Amino acid sequence: MPSYKYILLGLVFFALLLLYRWIPSRKVWALFSLTLLFAGAAAFWSFPPPPPPKMTEAERAEIHQQQEIFTAWYDEHKKNITQLDYNWQQYHNILESFKEGAIDIQTAYVRLRALTEDAKRTRDAVEAHIPPLALIGINYDLCAAVRQKTLAYADAQQQAISRTRNAADPAQLLTRDPAEQSRILEDTMIRESPPGLFLADEISTLRDNLTIPPEKDE
């Protein structure tokens, strides 16, 4: 059924049509119409929107259950993100230590080789940590998007570390000058570094979906 707003609006237009035939002066009709339209518009917007229907106990229980499922999954996912951040910090620490002369190219290569294995393990952990099927509809889709973005980032990070390791291989370097070697590694890092990992939109939408709105007492 149409709301009272639209019934009121229809009555206003119907009254204007009748008055157009009854009032001989078009100026008077125009002024009266404007007055009636302004009054109708004010009344139209003065009606408060209908309150949203209250949640049933079953709906509340379902949201609580979804909250628990998501929280358990996301807590584990955050551990993988923390490990990705740690790997990337270690990567930069190795390059910086070599640039400053704190380690030689052989040590840098050995550390990058070990870090490549760590990056692969982290990437595999992200891939294996799929969203639980118990998440419903859009909540599952959003978690899947979070995982996919993180996996793409982990892939790019592993590739950057791996290619920098290859560039640091003493057997393959064409120069023995540490400054030139450092420049080669930095160039590889700049070229291969992945863009940032941005998950704020998906996580914000998930938190909104899994928050029970406050309800006022009648």
- Condensed to tens digits (0 to 9), the pLDDT of residues 39-77 reads 656 655 555 566 666 778 888 889 999 999 999 999 999
CA angle 83, 84, 87 (to 5 degrees): 85
- Please indicate, yes or no, if residue 169 is contained in any of the structural domains: yes
What is the maximum span of the chain, computed from C-alpha positions, in angstroms? 102
Predicted model pTM: 0.74
Same domain, yes or no: 18 and 78: no
Share of the chain above pLDDT 70, in %: 74
**Residue 85, pLDDT above cutoff 80:** yes
114 and 17 within one domain: no
Residue 183 lies in a domain: yes
Nearest CA among 156, 194, 10, 77 for reference residue 2: 10
Residues 81 and 157 in one domain: yes
Higher pLDDT, 212 or 191: 191
Domain-located, residue 112? yes
Domain membership of residue 161 (yes or no) is yes
Q: Give percent of the chain with pLDDT exceeding 90.
A: 67
Interacting residues of 63 by C-beta distance below 8 A, sequence separation 6+: 55, 210, 211, 212
Residue type present at position 140: Y
pLDDT band at 216 (very low <50, low <70, confident <90, very high): very low
**Same structural domain, 108 and 161:** yes
Domain total for the chain? 2
Residue 142 and residue 190 in one domain: yes
Give the integer Cα–Cα distance in Å for 181 and 104.
Answer: 10
Angle between helical axes of 26-46 and 4-22 (0-180°, round to 10):
170
Where in the sequence is the domain holding 86, given as residue range(s)? 57-209
Residue 65 and residue 34 share a domain: no
Q: Is residue 51 part of a domain?
A: no
194 and 173 in a common domain: yes
pLDDT top residue among 50 and 201: 201
Confidence grade of residue 212 (pLDDT, cut at 50, 70, 90):
confident
The answer to whether 86 and 69 are in contact (CB under 8 A) is: no
Whole-angstrom CA distances from 166 to 4, 159, 172 are 73, 10, 8
* 46 C-beta neighbours (distance < 10 Å), count: 8
- Pair (120, 17) in one structural domain: no
Count other C-beta atoms under 10 Å from residue 167's C-beta: 20
DSSP the chain: ---HHHHHHHHHHHHHHHHHHH-S-HHHHHHHHHHHHHHHHHHHHHSPPPPPPPPPHHHHHHHHHHHHHHHHHHHHHHHHHHHHHHHHHHHHHHHHHHHTTSS-HHHHHHHHHHHHHHHHHHHHHHHH-PPPTTS-HHHHHHHHHHHHHHHHHHHHHHHHHHHHHHHH-TTT-S---HHHHHHHHHHHHHHHPPPP---HHHHHHHHHHTSPPP----
Pair (98, 197) in one structural domain: yes
Residues 41 and 61 reside in one and the same domain: no
Q: Are residues 173 and 131 in the same domain?
A: yes
Q: Average pLDDT in the 189-214 region? A: 92
**Mean of the per-residue pLDDT values of the chain:** 85
Domain membership flag for residue 52: no
| Residue 218, domain member (yes or no) | no
Q: What is the pLDDT of residues 119-130, one digit of tens each?
A: 999 999 999 999
Is there a domain that residue 214 lies in? no
Residue 19, pLDDT above cutoff 90? no
Residues 107 and 22 both lie in one domain: no
